[in-house]
């Protein structure tokens, strides 16, 4: 089923449905394909598995994957099979018949990846090695490679036997992977595995999608409920220190109506397996666990991790919080901190008769406490702890979010509210902003120009005013009527602000350039339907839902509303096999929803996947900007649509639109090719009010009936007229 002519990026699209490599995946894969040994360090959720799964698909022969946990093996094998890649594992839980069946398949060359535990490979009386030598083994992957080191936190003696692999398979490249390895452990891994001048790849361990928060622990159960109430639909893990408290907390949460179950090492295996399974299948939303839970959990849509007790060290904390958000979507890490907890742990940290170890443990605990008491960026502290440099404002931890971004905006709020009052609560955003900024436009009534409030907000840009007004509405200091022409009105909270009795805090504007990337809101109702479809398919295939498709894929579908299989192919995670197997089933709810709500596909607004882009093209020098525009223009003139050009050129549709709007500006393309004439005045009006530097506020004002492409085209055309 493999093809030697396929490039890695093509295989990524075809088998995994992804359009881009992450971190250093591409370089790692290239090294393996060249037959070199590799050590890869990547954070949890970074995409380590793909580093050997993709070469396995491209190479002739079988790839052997050494993995410490049976639960993890099954998860990986199921997930590969769902993607149409033949994989299997051999372990002690299987019957002799089952094992024989797999051996037969291996002999026939029908299996691309074989998962094994190390003890199975070298166990007494095992002739597995000589059997494997009779096959063609193209790659050996050693997952969780830190298990080979005494220095790691998870030493497994069986891993030491893996040193022998290089002697048994001297010509086969070996890749060792781990998410946790300080320098000492890293060196140890290389020595013990006996690797052949390996290339080392160390990715940043920053988990940008996780927001870190610490709150003082006061009434922890109520604090927890407040947090969970906002996340009723999400999956999460709550870590406690003791077995007893996991059970008590589980009972309390159940009482409050949450679908929660406990997990700790003292439970019997059947109960543990049942609770874990229910969590993986999204039947149970919350697992309340001791740290025994989590190793080998690949569930990608864990949205939050809560520590109700203080962790013993940063390593553990970081690993546990890292179980949130493997799918890359925004996720939360919350820790409830009390000094009492720190005190209690200090007593435990002292190991009788081992001064040296006590000192190390106490130092680690002290670092953990410092982290909780920080007044500076938490992420920076974590990164420094792991020897990585990091700037001092991440913008997404509690410190950065509160200290840097909120500011006292009482005066701004007063200006806005008094403008609304002076204008007798009869105008909408645009007019109020023009009035505040003292716009000279004729549209502003003469009598308004005489008011004292006219022009008191001239120092603030239109875009910022728009944001502030929205925030004031969100905070309840203003309201918007839902008429055809919505107007701003005061509320009963407004008066206190105007009289100076109420302080108002707003979020400061981003100093860094705001993304112009269009964030289109997804259809919440459709997302729910898609989750049901996914759950049903998962149940029929007997795998957890996240294995069928990630939450990212569902959100993309609920955003871009694909209507055909070809459009569906542009959704992240739809490789060829998944498209063929489940594509039609997922189109049903999307189409139903669209026809009920009068919606159509928005797939054109999605950045094109680089479907056909061959690897070598990416290293070529970029085309000069004028050349690339001309190339787009030529294709457009040959009759191709924007989407076709985007796909063919491996560019985002928005980039193509940007190119073409340049030719609207030069006059080579008529603006009417992109926009209906009757739509132009509204766009022009919005551009005149808000400027054309940033598209997203324009899109917001204009609403769903106007696309980014149309707005861009009109901007090009307006610039032509004024030049």
Provide the binding-site residues for ligand ADP, judged by CB under 6 A. Answer: 18, 20-22, 25, 42, 44-50, 298, 300, 326-327, 550
- By a kind-dependent CB cut-off of 5 to 8 A, residue 21 interacts, out of Zn ion, ligand ADP, none, with ligand ADP
d(CA 199, CA 205): 18
Tell me the β-bridge partners of 288: 238, 262
- By a kind-dependent CB cut-off of 5 to 8 A, residue 377 interacts, out of ligand ADP, Zn ion, none, with Zn ion
Q: Whole-number minimum distance, CB 699 to ligand ADP, in Å?
A: 27
Is residue 148 within 8 Å of 192, Cβ to Cβ?
Answer: yes
Q: Find the distance separating the first CA and the last CA of the chain, reported in whole Å.
A: 58
Q: Which is nearer to ligand ADP, 346 or 612 (CB)?
A: 612
Q: Where are the beta strands (DSSP E) in 5-61?
A: 38-41
Residue 54 zone, left/alpha/beta (φ > 0; ψ -120 to 50; rest): alpha
- By a kind-dependent CB cut-off of 5 to 8 A, residue 429 interacts, out of ligand ADP, Zn ion, none, with none
User: Pattern of binders to Zn ion over 439-478, x per CB under 5 A?
Assistant: ----------------------------------------
Pick the stretch among 153-161, 397-405, 425-433, 530-538 that binds Zn ion (CB under 5 A). 397-405
Helix or strand (DSSP H, E) at 329: none
Q: Cα dist. 339→336, 346, 365, 474 in Å?
A: 10, 11, 12, 36
Q: Which is nearer to ligand ADP, 298 or 414 (CB)?
A: 298
Is residue 9 within 8 Å of 21, Cβ to Cβ?
Answer: yes
Pick the stretch among 391-399, 443-451, 559-567, 573-581 that binds Zn ion (CB under 5 A). 391-399
Residues 6+ positions from 564 with CB-CB distance below 8 Å:
587
Q: Whole-number minimum distance, CB 172 to ligand ADP, in Å?
A: 22
Q: Whole-number minimum distance, CB 12 to ligand ADP, in Å?
A: 6
- Chain centroid to Cα 82, Å, comes to 21
Q: Is 397 in the site for Zn ion (CB under 5 A)?
A: yes
- By a kind-dependent CB cut-off of 5 to 8 A, residue 687 interacts, out of Zn ion, ligand ADP, none, with none
Pick the stretch among 35-43, 120-128, 399-407, 529-537 that binds Zn ion (CB under 5 A). 399-407
C-alpha closest to that of 437 among 689, 694, 700, 715: 689
Q: Whole-number minimum distance, CB 26 to ligand ADP, in Å?
A: 9
Side-by-side strand order, sheet with 260-263? 210-216, 331-337, 302-307, 235-239, 286-289, 260-263
- Chain centroid to Cα 580, Å, comes to 25
Q: Is 394 in the site for Zn ion (CB under 5 A)?
A: yes
Residues 6+ positions from 471 with CB-CB distance below 8 Å:
506, 507
- By a kind-dependent CB cut-off of 5 to 8 A, residue 383 interacts, out of ligand ADP, Zn ion, none, with none
Pick the stretch among 229-237, 395-403, 504-512, 554-562 that binds Zn ion (CB under 5 A). 395-403
Q: Which is nearer to Zn ion, 80 or 400 (CB)?
A: 400
Report the half-sphere exposure of 489 (CA within 13 A, side-chain side).
Answer: 10
C-alpha closest to that of 73 among 110, 104, 116, 102: 116
Question: Which token pair is 97?
Answer: 């018949």
Instruction: Identify the three-state secondary structure at position 257.
Output: coil
d(CA 133, CA 125): 16
Exactly one of 57, 400, 594, 714 binds Zn ion (CB under 5 A); that residue is 400
- Chain centroid to Cα 720, Å, comes to 40
- By a kind-dependent CB cut-off of 5 to 8 A, residue 394 interacts, out of Zn ion, ligand ADP, none, with Zn ion
Q: Whole-number minimum distance, CB 398 to Zn ion, in Å?
A: 8
C-alpha closest to that of 329 among 300, 298, 305, 297: 300
- By a kind-dependent CB cut-off of 5 to 8 A, residue 400 interacts, out of Zn ion, ligand ADP, none, with Zn ion
Q: Whole-number minimum distance, CB 720 to ligand ADP, in Å?
A: 40
Q: Whole-number minimum distance, CB 579 to ligand ADP, in Å?
A: 16
- By a kind-dependent CB cut-off of 5 to 8 A, residue 397 interacts, out of Zn ion, ligand ADP, none, with Zn ion
C-alpha closest to that of 381 among 365, 367, 395: 367
Tell me the β-bridge partners of 41: 178, 202
Q: Whole-number minimum distance, CB 423 to ligand ADP, in Å?
A: 49
d(CA 336, CA 334): 7
- By a kind-dependent CB cut-off of 5 to 8 A, residue 298 interacts, out of ligand ADP, Zn ion, none, with ligand ADP
Q: Which is nearer to ligand ADP, 45 or 697 (CB)?
A: 45
Q: Whole-number minimum distance, CB 25 to ligand ADP, in Å?
A: 6
- By a kind-dependent CB cut-off of 5 to 8 A, residue 22 interacts, out of ligand ADP, Zn ion, none, with ligand ADP
Q: Whole-number minimum distance, CB 236 to Zn ion, in Å?
A: 21
Site size for Zn ion (CB under 5 A): 5
- By a kind-dependent CB cut-off of 5 to 8 A, residue 46 interacts, out of Zn ion, ligand ADP, none, with ligand ADP
d(CA 698, CA 392): 32
With tokens 């007893």, the residue in question is 244
Q: Which is nearer to ligand ADP, 23 or 217 (CB)?
A: 23
Q: Is 326 in the site for Zn ion (CB under 5 A)?
A: no
Q: Whole-number minimum distance, CB 379 to ligand ADP, in Å?
A: 19
Q: Which is nearer to ligand ADP, 42 or 85 (CB)?
A: 42
Q: Which is nearer to ligand ADP, 22 or 591 (CB)?
A: 22
Instruction: Identify the three-state secondary structure at position 306.
Output: strand
Q: Which is nearer to ligand ADP, 21 or 263 (CB)?
A: 21
Q: Whole-number minimum distance, CB 533 to ligand ADP, in Å?
A: 19
* Residues from 345 through 384 that contact Zn ion (CB under 5 A): 377, 379
d(CA 429, CA 170): 71
Buried b (16+ CB within 10 A) or exposed e, 665-699: beeebebeebbeeebbebbeebbebbebebbebbb
Q: Whole-number minimum distance, CB 572 to ligand ADP, in Å?
A: 6
d(CA 143, CA 67): 5
Q: Which is nearer to Zn ion, 168 or 367 (CB)?
A: 367
The residues that touch Zn ion, with contacts defined as CB under 5 A, are: 377, 379, 394, 397, 400
């Amino acid at each position: 089923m493999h093809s030697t002519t396929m490039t890695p990026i093509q295989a990524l699209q075809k088998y995994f449905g992804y359009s881009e490599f992450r971190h250093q995946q591409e370089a790692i894969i290239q090294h393996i394909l060249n037959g070199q040994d590799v050590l890869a360090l990547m954070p949890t959720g970074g995409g380590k598995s793909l580093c050997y799964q993709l070469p396995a698909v491209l190479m002739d022969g079988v790839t052997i994957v050494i993995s410490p946990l049976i639960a993890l093996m099954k998860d990986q094998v199921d997930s590969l099979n769902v993607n149409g890649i033949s994989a299997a594992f051999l372990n002690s839980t299987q019957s002799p018949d089952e094992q024989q069946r797999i051996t037969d398949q291996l002999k026939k060359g029908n299996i691309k990846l074989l998962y094994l535990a190390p003890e199975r490979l070298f166990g007494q009386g095992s002739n597995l090695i000589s059997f494997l030598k009779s096959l063609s083994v193209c790659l050996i992957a050693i997952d969780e490679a830190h298990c080979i080191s005494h220095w790691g936190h998870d030493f497994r003696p069986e891993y030491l036997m893996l040193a022998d692999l290089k002697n048994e398979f001297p010509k086969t490249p070996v890749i060792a992977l781990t998410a946790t390895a300080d320098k000492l452990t890293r060196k140890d891994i290389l020595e013990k595995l006996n690797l052949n001048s390996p290339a080392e790849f160390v990715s940043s361990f920053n988990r940008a999608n996780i927001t870190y928060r610490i709150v003082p622990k006061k009434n922890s159960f109520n604090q927890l409920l407040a947090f969970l109430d906002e996340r009723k639909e999400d999956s999460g893990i709550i870590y406690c220190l003791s077995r007893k408290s996991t059970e008590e907390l589980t009972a309390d949460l159940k009482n409050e109506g949450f679908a929660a179950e406990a997990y700790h090492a003292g439970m019997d295996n059947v109960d543990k397996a049942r609770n874990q399974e229910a969590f993986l299948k999204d039947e149970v939303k919350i697992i309340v666990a001791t740290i025994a839970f989590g190793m080998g959990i690949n569930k990608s849509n864990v949205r939050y991790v809560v520590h109700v007790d203080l962790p013993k060290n940063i390593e553990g904390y970081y690993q546990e919080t890292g179980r949130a958000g493997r799918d890359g979507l925004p996720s939360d890490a919350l820790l409830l901190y009390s000094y009492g907890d720190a005190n209690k742990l200090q007593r435990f940290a002292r190991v009788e008769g081992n001064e040296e170890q006590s000192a190390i443990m106490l130092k680690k605990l002290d670092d953990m406490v410092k982290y909780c008491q920080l007044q500076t960026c938490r992420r920076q502290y974590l990164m420094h702890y792991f020897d990585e440099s990091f700037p001092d404002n991440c913008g997404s931890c509690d410190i950065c979010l509160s200290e840097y971004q909120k500011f006292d905006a009482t005066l701004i709020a007063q200006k806005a509210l008094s403008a609304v009052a002076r204008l007798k609560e009869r105008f909408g955003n645009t007019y109020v902003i023009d009035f505040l900024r003292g716009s000279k436009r004729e549209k502003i009534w003469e009598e308004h120009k005489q008011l004292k409030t006219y022009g008191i907000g001239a120092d603030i840009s239109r875009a910022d005013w728009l944001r502030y007004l929205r925030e004031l509405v969100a905070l309840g200091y203003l309201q918007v009527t839902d008429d055809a022409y919505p107007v701003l009105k005061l509320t009963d909270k407004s008066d206190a602000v105007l009289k100076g009795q109420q302080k108002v805090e707003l979020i400061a504007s981003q100093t860094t350039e705001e993304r112009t990337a269009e964030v289109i809101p997804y259809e919440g109702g459709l997302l729910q339907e898609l989750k049901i479809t996914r759950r049903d398919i998962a149940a029929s295939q007997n795998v957890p839902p996240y294995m069928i498709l990630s939450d990212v894929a569902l959100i993309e579908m609920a955003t871009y509303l694909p209507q055909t299989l070809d459009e569906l192919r542009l959704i992240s995670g739809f490789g060829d096999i998944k498209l063929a197997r489940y594509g039609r089933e997922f189109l049903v709810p999307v189409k139903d929803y669209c026809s009920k709500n009068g919606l159509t596909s928005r797939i054109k607004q999605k950045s094109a996947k680089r479907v056909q882009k061959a690897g070598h093209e990416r290293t070529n020098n970029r085309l000069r900007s004028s050349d690339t525009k001309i190339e787009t223009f030529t294709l457009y003139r040959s009759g191709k649509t924007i989407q076709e050009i985007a796909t063919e050129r491996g560019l985002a549709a928005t980039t193509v639109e940007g190119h073409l709007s340049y030719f609207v500006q030069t006059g080579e393309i008529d603006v009417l090719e992109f926009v209906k004439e009757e739509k132009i005045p509204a766009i022009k009006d919005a551009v005149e009010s808000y400027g054309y530097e940033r598209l997203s506020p324009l899109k917001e004002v204009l609403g769903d009936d106007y696309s980014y492409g149309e707005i861009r085209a009109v901007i090009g055309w307006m610039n032509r007229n004024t030049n």
